[in-house]
Every structure is written in C-alpha cells, then in structure tokens.
C-alpha cells in the first residue's frame, strides 16, 4: 500500500492558492484513476483506490490534511501509523518556491528549506520521506513569499498548471512501480516547464 499526501489549506477560501498545489494534484489523481469518494479520516479528507502499474495494481490512499498547511504532518503521521507504513510507503506533493513555475523535482532527505509544512511532515514521518517538489516560482523578495503562496494562480499560469497536473497524474504508475527518477523524467517530458527568468527562481 502507498499513501499520497497533498499539502494545502482547507476550505474554499484557499482552494486556488499556490500553496494548495498539492491538493490540486491529488484531486486530479482521484479523478483520473477512479478513486472512491472523499471521506473524513486521519484529521483530513481521504480517498481510496487502485493504481494500475507495470507490476500490477497498487492499493493507494490519497490524503488531504485538514490541519492547515503548517501542521499537515499530524494528519500524515496518523495515517501512516494506522496502516503501519514506513516513510518508503509515503509520498508528499507540495508547492516549491525555489523551483521555476512548472518544474518538478523528487527529493528524499535534506532540509525543509524553511517550509513549515515540510518541517511538520519530516517531524511526523521521518526525514527520508519522498517529496514531490512542484515549482511555483519565487516572488523575488522574501518578504513577499507569504502573500505570494497564499494568492491564487494567475490566469496566465493556467496552461503550464494544467499540463503539470495532467502529467503528475498520468505518470503516477511510474512513481509507484519504477521509482523517483523515472517519474520525474516522465512528468517533465509530458509537461515541459515554461521559460522563466532564472534570477527569480533558484534551482530552476
């Protein structure tokens, strides 16, 4: 079994925010892979389903913590303990300001780079939990970061955002059966990131 966790804030007020990109990815996966209905579980909203991979079907739980972004690890940890899973069986999708818009990187270990949601995830799941970093770009000034990630995606970002959501969902069987590098490569093949100013995006 595998748990896919999206980071975001609960409620319609935040639904279109850059900070809710993790939730958006899970919503697309649930739709494309015919998951069951969302139910209140583990201090969050969860949906169960099967993902067909080259190695056979993988039972998968989607989890959108409703504890607010910075405390999302509490929900994730509760679900992992319930199913007696290790960090190897958990993947977290989250927005990443240190990647250019539309870029994606898979990461295990390392620091949380000041992301309090990831800090919480690492505290409850362990530092080696797999993280899918989804680039949203940087506003250019650290004092602008919070209003930037709590703002909705601009209409001009719609094309690359739609492509990224679609690619994350379509490539999911590779993540569950063939590993990090194969998934990352396929997502970037399906959804090439738009050109942007590298000065605005470290690690772009």
Please list the active-site residues: 19
Contacts of 60 (CB under 8 A, 6+ apart): 1, 2, 3, 4, 33, 35, 48, 49, 50, 51, 176
Distance CA 44, CA 63 (A): 7
CA distances from 50 to 29, 36, 47, 75, 198 (A): 11, 10, 10, 21, 39
Distance CA 11, CA 13 (A): 5
The residue to which tokens 């000034």 are assigned: 141
Q: In this structure, are strands 130-135 and 56-65 parallel, antiparallel, or unpaired? A: unpaired
Classified as helix, coil or strand, 136 is: coil
CB 51 within 8 A of CB 172: yes
């Amino acid at each position: 079994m595998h748990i896919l966790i999206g980071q975001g804030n609960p409620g319609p007020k935040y639904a279109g925010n850059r900070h809710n990109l993790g939730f958006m990815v899970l919503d697309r996966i649930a739709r494309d892979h015919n998951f069951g209905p969302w139910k209140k579980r583990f201090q969050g909203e969860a949906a169960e389903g099967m993902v067909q991979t080259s190695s056979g079907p993988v039972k998968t739980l989607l989890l959108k913590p409703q504890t607010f972004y910075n405390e999302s690890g509490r929900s994730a940890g509760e679900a992992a303990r319930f199913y007696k899973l290790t960090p190897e069986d958990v993947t977290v999708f989250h927005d990443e300001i240190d990647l250019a818009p539309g870029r994606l990187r898979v990461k295990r270990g390392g620091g949380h780079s000041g992301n309090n949601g990831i800090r919480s995830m690492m505290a409850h799941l362990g530092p080696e939990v797999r993280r899918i970093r989804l680039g949203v770009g940087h506003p250019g000034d650290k004092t602008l970061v919070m209003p930037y990630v709590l703002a909705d995606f601009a209409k001009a970002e719609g094309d690359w955002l739609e492509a990224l959501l679609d690619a994350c969902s379509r490539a999911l069987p590779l993540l569950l059966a063939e590993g990090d590098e194969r998934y990352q490569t396929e997502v970037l093949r399906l959804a090439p990131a738009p050109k942007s100013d590298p000065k605005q995006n470290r690690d772009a």
